[in-house]
Amino acid sequence: SISPHIWRLLWGVLYIFIQKCPVVSASHQMSSHVDPEVLLEKVGRAGVITMNRPKVLNALNFTMIRQIYPQLKKWEKDNETDIVIIKGAGGKAFCAGGDIRAVTEAGKAGDSLAQDFFREEYILNNTIAYRKPYIALIDGITMGGGVGLSVHGRFRVATEKTLFAMPETAIGLFPDVGGGYFLPRLQGKLGLFLALTGFRLKGRDVQRAGLATHFVESKKIPDLEKELVDMKSPSAEDVSRVLDSYQKQVRSYSVVISSVPPTILSKMSPMSMKITYKQLQAGAALSLPDVLVMEYRLSQACMRGCDFYEGVRAVLVDKDHNPKWNPSTLEEVSDHSVDQCFSSLGEKDLTF
């Protein structure tokens, strides 16, 4: 029989082996390593935000909102930070929208995320109208929540890869994140057209529409970013000069505008379209904070209704693209039901 002393010795060797074993250590490292969903870095005198969920096209979730907002507030007061740059990882998207599926599940379950997500996202959107130069590099897909992270900043840089849209009426929502502010301020009725149809603008047309301030070739974005972060105490005018110099290097791009199918509006939620029409009418005369207060009321009306859940089911979950809207026609949507969506939430209203 083996003596207790030998047993203790064997167990000691085995313990050391397990601790040192490369296979065990490697698998442990792999399982515990999770990439952060948003990177917040200080590079020179620039604060740099990188949305880091490339597998889901950098969709904005609640965790990211709660990390970006306090950092923006901190950089705004920091004398060592002159500019803020925001971009997306992965090369395909800046940010393709908010994490709508999580909000849908929360709304169904009566979870507070259905209130908290919109409240904190809109507070973040308002903060982006920033005291310091804020530069959004919208290189790739930029929709919904991604628009809210960029369009209210002073500088928005589009590339030939930019794909811009506010597609909310297709899922029973409305063009939020301040859409009621910036859309009615576009030329003519372009904003209303984009809001109702979800039409996708591409490349240089994003700048022509006034949604981007500059157009730069995608391959030159890394050089542009390096030049921006290397600047010593830049002013907004200094940033503008650098962006202008990159824009001047652009060769001509032909942009193909796809036609809008004549039946496109028939696919949208009738309730969403009526809400959106009134939202843009009202928003044309309101400040951004007041628009966001209005939109928060609308977001909670959508959480109480049924079209949002049906739209998400049809477009994002089952993907049959055959939503059953209720009401099913514009004629059936009463003015009273639309007006109710704009009603005050009392002490639950959004405040800044």
Buried b (16+ CB within 10 A) or exposed e, 305-336: bebbbbbbbbbeeeeeeebebeeeeeeebeee
* Coil, helix or strand at residue 135: strand
Catalytic residue list: 98, 145, 168, 176
List alpha helices for the chain, DSSP H.
Answer: 4-20, 22-32, 62-77, 100-109, 113-127, 145-148, 179-182, 190-197, 204-208, 221-229, 236-248, 270-283, 288-304, 307-312, 335-341
Q: How is residue 83 annotated by DSSP?
A: E
> CA of 310: how far to CAs of 144, 230, 266, 315, in Å?
18, 49, 16, 9
> CA of 27: how far to CAs of 17, 98, 319, 348, in Å?
15, 33, 36, 47
Q: How is residue 143 annotated by DSSP?
A: E
Q: Half-sphere exposure of 126 toward its Cβ, with a 13 Å CA cutoff?
A: 18
Q: Are 132 and 75 contacting, i.e. CB atoms less than 8 angstroms apart?
A: yes
Q: Residue 38: which residues within 8 A CB-CB, separation 6 or more?
A: 49, 50, 51, 52, 63, 64, 67, 68
User: In the sheet that 163-165 helps form, which strands lie side by side, from edge to edge?
Assistant: 93-95, 141-143, 163-165, 201-202
Question: Using omega within 30 degrees of 0 as the cis cutoff, is the peptide bond preceding 234 cis?
Answer: no
